[in-house]
């Protein structure tokens, strides 16, 4: 039991370190990138860990992704920071829900999708659904909890949900999941 807990802590630490590196590199690159598509990539280790190590470790890493989001939006102030941090002007408890809950769910949904469809197609779908979990729940949370952002216009929300950014994230997540998970599952055994 003690060895398993130590192993889980080590696994979480390694994946969290990868998440931090991805976060810092993408923040740097996408600030220099002249294209409006700036996909979120920090969720990739959460999706992969969820499938390989289970929903408990996936949800923990998703929670840590939420902490990264809250911290970043507290330190680096953007016009949208209040949506993800209760510690900035106009932020509230609802900001924590938007920042944390979808990220925790990223660590759960891919695992169950892959358990349901345990093949290469299942991996592709699990990666895509992990990414869409983030997109749908973050934007849905913003729409429900901060409806004044959209002035009640559901068409604006749907346009954002299905924007090029979400599609790029979904494709990248599916490809990376299919590329990494089979090898990690072999190593794990």
Output the pLDDT for position 36.
60
How many separate domains does the chain show? 1
Beta-carbon count within 10 A of 58 CB: 29
Output the pLDDT for position 141.
87
C-alpha 64/C-alpha 27 separation (Å) is 17
Q: What is the pLDDT of residues 88-143, one digit of tens each?
A: 988 899 999 999 999 999 999 999 999 999 889 999 999 999 999 999 898 888 88
Output the pLDDT for position 129.
96
Q: What is the pLDDT of residues 63-79, one digit of tens each?
A: 999 999 999 999 988 88
- Domain housing 18: 2-188
Q: Please name the residue that has the structure tokens 């749908």.
A: 136
pTM: predicted TM-score of the whole model, two decimal places: 0.90
**CATH code for position 69:** 1.10.1760.20
Burial track 80-103 (b if 16+ CB lie within 10 A, e otherwise): ebbbbbbebeebeebbbbbbbbbb
The pair of structure tokens assigned to 15 is 């994946």
Instruction: Please classify residue 130 by burial: count the beta carbons closer than 10 Å to its beta carbon, then call 0-12 exposed, 13-18 middle and 19+ buried.
Output: buried
């Amino acid at each position: 039991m003690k060895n398993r807990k130590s192993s889980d802590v080590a696994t979480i630490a390694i994946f969290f370190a990868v998440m931090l590196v991805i976060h810092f590199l993408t923040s740097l690159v996408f600030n220099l990138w002249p294209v409006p598509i700036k996909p979120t990539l920090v969720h990739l280790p959460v999706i992969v860990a969820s499938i390989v190590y289970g929903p408990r470790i996936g949800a923990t890493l998703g929670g840590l992704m939420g902490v990264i989001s809250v911290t970043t939006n507290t330190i680096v102030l953007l016009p949208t920071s209040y949506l993800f941090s209760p510690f900035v002007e106009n932020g509230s408890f609802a900001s924590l829900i938007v920042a944390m809950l979808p990220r925790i769910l990223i660590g759960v949904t891919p695992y169950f999708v892959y358990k349901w469809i345990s093949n290469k197609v299942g991996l592709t779908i699990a990666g895509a659904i992990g990414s869409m979990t983030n997109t749908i729940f973050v934007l849905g949370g913003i729409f429900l909890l901060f409806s004044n952002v959209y002035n009640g216009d559901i068409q604006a929300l749907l346009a954002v949900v299905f924007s090029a950014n979400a599609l790029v994230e979904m494709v990248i997540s599916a490809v990376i999941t299919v590329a990494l998970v089979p090898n990690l599952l072999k190593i794990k055994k």
